[in-house]
Amino acid sequence: MAGIYVHFPFCASRCIYCDFYSRVRSDWTAYVEALVKELSANGDFFKGVSPATLYFGGGTPSLLPVCELKKVADAAREIFGVAEFEEFTLEANPDDVTPSSAGEWRKMGVTRVSMGVQSFDDSHLKWMNRRHTSAQVSEAVEALRSAGIKNVSIDLIFGFTGLSDGQWDDNISKALSLAPEHISCYQMTGRYSHPSEELCFSQYAHLQDRLAEAGYRQYEVSNYCLEGYESRHNSGYWNRSAYLGVGAAAHSFDGDRLRRWNLADIDKYEGGAAPIEESLTDEECIEEILMLGLRTASGVDLNLIPADYREKMKPALDHMIRTGSILKSDSRIRIPSGKLFISDWIVGQLIV
Ligand code: SF4
């Protein structure tokens, strides 16, 4: 399923753990013009196929006035001849969600809001330099629901120093009490990650158990949803569908072997800097199929892997199957849920 990603690299402040490209800046007019220009220049990107999803990510797109966001959404609809996208996601900070902003986003065509919640513990939120409080999250969810946005996702973080198992369990309970359709959970990386892999694994496994009990299906290493609420846009990344990424630091893929990305530099982007392009080799395409596909619960169809590569990885694959790290059913292979925490390592064994 083809999709469009738009990067809004603006934040009101920077969170301590964040690696995404964004700057604390609020003059976005020239940037929005550059986005519309880049969309127009890529009107033939999908070669006649209509993109089904639109994703406004960041940064903090919810920081921008709706009139600016609307310019980009309208341009995408017009340029690609789409009346309404099947899924239109907006990333939002909870403190930007009000009954009024939620209503305007819905009117603009947004069908799904993904909120960076991270924790329900105010002292952790403060330490992370998040702008919102735990109480604002429930208010935000209520405002989104009242505005008619029926697909709400929340992000949580685990595996950081200072997060006890009890606090993590409490975060999961509070997330579930809001009944979001979708939950994404990421392990803290970098200097604030907890030094004990064992603790990180046990928090991951606890999350899997609690969400499964509550009726959420884990469909990817970090993503869970109620039935029918998988992120269609992100699923396109994992099954290597074509996507056009516009904005500073945004990546595009033609669905075959061309990858292209813009520089992570707002000024250069506004100045019209050309993107960098790379054409993947056969081997790199195979590695991507394995790396991305094995992140998902549906896994990889071995028929997508050429016979000579399958032959080369056979000893490692047979070993992984024997030891229960990979399950095989007909031509499909997948990593069982109990091993998803070490999926990168497992995939690494298959790459020859
Ligand atoms: S608001 Fe999001 S993008 Fe901005 S610094 Fe925090 S985590 Fe990163």
Task: Give the closest residue (by CA) to ligand 1 atom 8.
Answer: 18
Residues 306 and 162 occupy one common structural domain: no
Based on the domain organization, do 341 and 220 belong to the same domain? no
Is 243 among the domain residues?
Answer: no
pLDDT at 48: 85
Q: Pull the structure tokens for residue 183.
A: 């939950």
Same domain, 292 and 212: no
User: pLDDT tens digits, residue range 11-33?
Assistant: 999 999 999 999 998 899 999 99
- Same domain, residue pair 161 and 33: yes
pTM of the model: 0.97
Q: Does residue 203 form part of some domain? A: yes
Q: Indicate if 62 and 137 belong to the same structural domain.
A: yes
How does pLDDT run across 58-94, given as a tens digit for each residue?
A: 999 999 999 999 999 999 999 999 999 999 999 999 9
What are the backbone dihedrals phi and psi of residue 83, each rounded to the nearest 5 degrees, phi first? Answer: -70, -50
- What's the CA-to-centroid distance between 70 and ligand 1, angstroms? 22
Same domain, 37 and 157: yes
Q: Which of 8, 17, 22 to mutate to test the pocket of ligand 1 (most atoms within 8 A of CB)?
A: 22
Q: Amino acid letter at 52?
A: A
Q: How far apart are CA 65 and CA 53, in angstroms?
A: 22
Nearest-CA residue for atom 5 of ligand 1: 14
Distance (Å, whole) CA 37 – CA 41:
6
Structure confidence at residue 26 (pLDDT): 86
Positions of the chain with pLDDT lower than 50, given as ranges: none
Q: Judge if 51 and 115 occupy the same domain.
A: yes
CATH of the domain at 298: 1.10.10.920
Interval between CA 110 and ligand 1 midpoint (Å): 20
Per the domain annotation, does 148 fall within a domain? yes
Torsion of CA 37, 80, 259, 58, to 10 degrees: 60
Buried b (16+ CB within 10 A) or exposed e, 13-41: eebebeeebbeeeeebeebbebbbebbee
The answer to whether residue 351 sits within a structural domain is yes
The residue whose two tokens read 């239109």 is 88
Residues 122 and 198 in one domain: yes
Q: Would you say residue 314 lies in a domain?
A: yes
- Span from the CA of 323 to the centroid of ligand 1 (angstroms): 40
How remote is the CA of residue 23 from the centroid of ligand 1, in Å?
Answer: 9
Span 133-177, pLDDT tens digits: 999 999 999 999 999 999 999 999 999 999 999 999 999 999 999
Q: Among 211, 236, 261, where does a domain finish?
A: 236
Residue 230 lies in a domain: yes
Ligand 1 pocket: which of 60, 62, 126, 128 to mutate (most atoms <8 Å of CB)? 60
Please check whether residues 10 and 112 belong to one and the same domain. Answer: yes
Q: Report CA-CA distances (Å) from 124 to 118, 120, 163.
A: 9, 8, 8
260 in a structural domain? no
H/E run at residue 174? helix 165-177
Whether 151 and 27 share a structural domain: yes
- Domain of residue 222, CATH code: 3.80.30.20
Do residues 108 and 62 touch, judged by C-beta distance below 8 A? no
* Edge-first strand listing for the sheet containing 87-92: 217-220, 223-225, 182-187, 151-158, 112-118, 87-92, 53-58, 3-8, 243-246, 251-253, 258-261, 276-279
- Alpha-carbon distance of 186 to 223, in angstroms, equals 9
Are residues 81 and 172 located together in one domain of the fold?
A: yes
Which residue CA neighbors atom 6 of ligand 1 most closely?
15
Q: 209: domain range? A: 3-236
Distance (Å, rounded) from C-alpha 235 to C-alpha 53? Answer: 11
pLDDT of residue 210: 98
Q: CA-based diameter of the chain, in Å? A: 58
Rounded to whole angstroms, how far apart are CA atoms 292 and 282? 15
Of 218, 236, 254, the one marking the end of a domain is 236
Cβ proximity of 7 and 266 under 8 Å: no
Whether 44 maps to a domain, the answer reads yes
Cβ atoms of 134 and 121 within 8 Å: the answer is yes
pLDDT of residue 160: 97
Total domains, the chain = 2
**Is residue 219 domain-shared with residue 112, that is, in the same domain?**
yes
Question: Which are the contacts of 292, defined by CB distance < 8 A and separation ≥ 6?
Answer: 237, 238, 239, 240
Atom of ligand 1 nearest to the CA of 13: 5
